[in-house]
C-alpha cells in the first residue's frame, strides 16, 4: 500500500472510531477534499494533518503513526515507537554535542 492510501485508510479509521462523519470536518476541510484524502487521491499538508487531528481530538503523530503502521501492515506500535524514540534521542544528543 502506498503512503497516500495508508494515510487515507488511517484517517477514515480514526474518523470512524471517533464517530465523526465527513460532514463533521467542515471547519477543517470540505467533504470532497476529505473524501479525496480517504481514497488516497491526495496528500495533505502538515497544516491539514494538524487541523484534521485537532478535529478528531488526537495528536497529529497518532494519525501519522497509524499511517505508517498501516503501510507496514502492522497493528502493534511498540516497535515503531522504540525506533522513533531511539532516533529522536540520537538526534537530540547530537544537537547538544554541537552546541557545547
Residue 91 sits in a domain of what CATH number?
Answer: 1.10.260.40
Burial class (CB in 10 A: 0-12, 13-18, 19+), 91: exposed
In the chain, what percentage of residues exceed pLDDT 90?
81
Structural domain harbouring 34: 3-99
Write the CB contacts of 27 (distance below 8 Å, at least 6 apart in sequence).
55
Look at the chain and report how many structural domains it folds into: 1
**pTM, to two decimals:** 0.85
Query: How much is the pLDDT for 66?
Result: 97
Q: How confident is the model at residue 96 (pLDDT cuts 50, 70, 90)?
A: low
pLDDT digits (tens, 9 = 90+) for 15-51: 999 999 998 988 777 888 999 999 999 999 999 999 9
Query: How much is the pLDDT for 72?
Result: 94
Amino acid at each position: 500500500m502506498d503512503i497516500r492510501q495508508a494515510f487515507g485508510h488511517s484517517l477514515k479509521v480514526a474518523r470512524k472510531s471517533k464517530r465523526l462523519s465527513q460532514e463533521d470536518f467542515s471547519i477543517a476541510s470540505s467533504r470532497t477534499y476529505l473524501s479525496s484524502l480517504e481514497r488516497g487521491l491526495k496528500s495533505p499538508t502538515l497544516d491539514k494533518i494538524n487541523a484534521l487531528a485537532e478535529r478528531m481530538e488526537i495528536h497529529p503523530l497518532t494519525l501519522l503513526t497509524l499511517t505508517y503502521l498501516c503501510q507496514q501492515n502492522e497493528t502493534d506500535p511498540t516497535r515503531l515507537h522504540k525506533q522513533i524514540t531511539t532516533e529522536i534521542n540520537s538526534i537530540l544528543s547530537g544537537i547538544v554535542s554541537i552546541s557545547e
